[in-house]
Amino acid sequence: MKTQHCLSAVVTACLVLGGIAACGGGNDSSAGNGGPKNVRMTWFGVTNWHYQIGDLGILLDGAVGYPARDPNPAMVTRVHDALKLKGDVDVVLLGHLHGDHSVDTPEWAKQTGAQYYGSKAACAEAVTYGISGDKCTSLYGGEKVQLNEHVAMRVVRWVHSIGCGLLQNGGGIETFGYLFTVKTPDKTLTWYVTDSGAGGRDLTTDQIDTDGVNRGAPLTNLAKAVRDANIDGFEVWQGGPESRVVNQARTVIPAFGVKTFMPHHYGARGGFNITQGLHYPYSEDEMPELKKFLASNNVPQLYSTNYFDAYVYDSTGIRADGNAEVKAAMGLPANGIGPGPQGTNPRAGDMECPGD
């Protein structure tokens, strides 16, 4: 299979990238003439997502252990083999360079041969690791990437989270969100995923980088991506939870008509072992202001209780989906927590800022 990638916001030509393999067996999102039927989403820790859309497989971040200073090729292979039971990896994305997100990402690009999208610094790191320069696309923000005739991705220059009461006006870690649109026979599916993000004024303040370049306000950047996609908003938001996520929610949810919030970026504090299962749970009660806001807006929270929990998103909405075969390949139970013990979040009681 060949997949076209078009960077229409900054590059007018389309580049046809060959050698992208079709997915493995077991996936029910296969595309016919009318396009894929659905998106199958698998969460496997921190902000690691695998999206299978027909024959197209997309991976975000892909950290397989933390703390870690170097990639773990053996564990990447094991996770990749497990994911191949339901799909494959044709595209690799990175939200930002950070130890709990990006250490293993170059290894994913190397093993899969997938096109890798990340910051200029991430691509420089990948080339040093042995990835061919033409296999890593440096992002600026504002790009449209046409992954195939049914699936488009728009890159949103976002902002990394910081402490309570602070304002980050550029100079931080380059952070990107990704807005996806998928044309199915019944409707266009829409979701936005970020692997970090501040709130409050950071979302509405132009971010000036260290070279004096204005990267735009994150919320404005997201609105531009939505308009470019010719949609009113997006149904699913995968973001947080970090300090200030309630501020993000108060801004993002009403502005873009979010129908389902899928919190991620949890379970990594204190380190994690992907074969032992989620070592502390996500608790709505640790973020009471967020819980109250979402309930008042009739936006449910849909979140994982263990690594490799999976979901199907189609024209009827998004719902949990069994993933027993993939979990078994990773030594995890078909349902519930384990096999390792589960404790409490080291940040419990510090998930929302004073005044939230």
348 in any annotated domain: no
Q: Are 108 and 78 in contact (CB under 8 A)?
A: no
Q: Which residues contact 344 (CB under 8 A, 6 or more apart)?
A: 280
Q: Which amino acid is at 142?
A: G
Average pLDDT, the chain: 90
Question: What is the average per-residue pLDDT within 137-158?
Answer: 97
252 in any annotated domain: yes
345 in any annotated domain: no
pLDDT value, residue 134: 98
pLDDT value, residue 162: 82
List residues bridging with 261 in a β-sheet: 237, 301
Return the structure tokens found at 276: 């032992």
DSSP result, 154-191: EEEE------TT----SSS---EEEEEEEE-SS-EEEE
Helix (H, G, I), strand (E, B) or coil at 328: helix
336 in any annotated domain: no
Residues spanned by the domain of 111:
3-329
Q: How confident is the model at residue 146 (pLDDT cuts 50, 70, 90)?
A: very high
355 in any annotated domain: no
Please report, for the domain that includes residue 179, its CATH number.
3.60.15.10
Q: How far is CA 343 from the centre of its chain?
A: 25
Residue 141 to residues 74, 177, 337, Cα–Cα distance (Å): 33, 9, 38
What value, to the nearest 5°, has the Cα angle with vertex 258 and ends 39 and 171? 95
Checking if the pLDDT of 20 tops 70, the result is no
Which pTM value belongs to this model? 0.92
27 in any annotated domain: yes
Give the pLDDT confidence of 266-302 residue by residue, as tens digits.
Answer: 998 889 999 999 999 999 999 999 999 999 999 999 9
pLDDT value, residue 210: 78
Residue ranges of alpha helices (H) inside the chain are: 73-83, 105-112, 120-129, 201-204, 218-228, 245-256, 288-296, 324-329
Checking if the pLDDT of 207 tops 50, the result is yes
24 in any annotated domain: yes
Residue with tokens 């894929």: 36
Residue 68 to residues 62, 99, 120, 126, 141, Cα–Cα distance (Å): 13, 7, 22, 16, 28
- For helices 105-112 and 120-129, the axis angle rounded to 10 degrees is 60
CA-wise closest residue to 352 among 244, 215, 241, 224: 244
Distance from C-alpha of 218 to C-alpha of 204, rounded to nearest angstrom: 6
Checking if the pLDDT of 225 tops 50, the result is yes
The residue among 47 and 31 whose pLDDT is bigger is 47
Number of domains in the chain: 1
Q: How confident is the model at residue 19 (pLDDT cuts 50, 70, 90)?
A: very low
Q: 168-177, 179-188, 224-233, 309-318: which range is least confident on average?
A: 168-177
Distance from C-alpha of 280 to C-alpha of 347, rounded to nearest angstrom: 11
What's 14's DSSP letter? E
51 in any annotated domain: yes
